[in-house]
């Protein structure tokens, strides 16, 4: 993964982890809310996978926010 993509993946992953922890839910709980695989959620949180636009929207909806808000929280 190129350096700029790695930075984006890490920032988004840290933000997802922070929001999930603030809500007191597990990766499995978030995955269920977002209709994603829990292993994939873990990979996103660790910055190992770069989330697609659809995945960003699903995660944001799971937190009750818009996709743009999630990206803004990640300072992307």
What is the residue extent of each domain of the chain?
Answer: 3-71
DSSP letter string over 8-72?
A: HHHHHHHHHHHHHHHHT--HHHHHHHHT--HHHHHHHHTTSSPPPHHHHHHHHHHTTS-HHHHHH
Fold of 3-71: 434 Repressor (Amino-terminal Domain) (1.10.260)
Tell me the per-residue pLDDT of 23-71, one tens digit each, with 9 for 90 and over.
999 999 999 999 999 999 999 999 999 999 999 999 999 999 999 999 9
pLDDT value, residue 22: 98
For residue 75, the SS3 value is coil
């Amino acid at each position: 993964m190129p350096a700029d993509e790695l930075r984006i993946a890490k920032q988004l992953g840290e933000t997802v982890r922070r929001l999930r922890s603030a809500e007191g839910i597990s990766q499995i709980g978030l995955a269920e809310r977002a209709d994603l695989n829990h292993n994939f959620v873990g990979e996103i949180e660790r910055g190992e996978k770069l989330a697609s636009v659809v995945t960003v929207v699903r995660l944001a909806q799971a937190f009750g926010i818009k996709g743009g808000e999630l990206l803004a929280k990640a300072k992307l």
